[in-house]
Amino acid sequence: MRTHEEMEVQTALYQERNDCSVRAVATAFNMSYGRAHRLMKRHANRPKGRGPSSEGFRRAILKIAKLEGREVIQHNEMNGLTLNRFYKEHGRSGNWIVHIKAHAVGILDGRICDWTGDDTVVHRKTARLGYRAAMAAIEII
């Protein structure tokens, strides 16, 4: 798994910003930032420096999972959970992409790769899953 610091380097190389969806895909599917970036551009119509719509992101994840030979389970029943609660109840194992208020977080084998950079959810513990989004959480199997 790539660390937050390694993702920061890739973000700079690609001259990107607002790339949480790319980082979430790279993390949850355990792929390179470059591959995730290309797939998000192709399948989510992600413009440079901006995130995709939540519905575009959801559809892109489904397409990417199919390309990668993976299955997904959408968990919209988790709408309203805080990220902290989600992590304690579900995120300590498995691969997940979680959508929270205009932000996406990738989890690989129970480890979060997010802007906090320290594998904790302290800074976003009150953010609610699925807030104004087409999905709450997608489990990558």
Lowest mean pLDDT among 70-74, 114-118, 129-133: 114-118
Whether pLDDT at 117 is above 50: no
**Contacts (Cβ under 8 Å, ≥6 apart) of 135:** 54, 57, 58, 74, 76, 99
| Mean pLDDT score of the chain | 83
Q: CA-to-CA distance for 96 and 79, rounded, in angstroms?
A: 15
**Contacts (Cβ under 8 Å, ≥6 apart) of 77:** 136
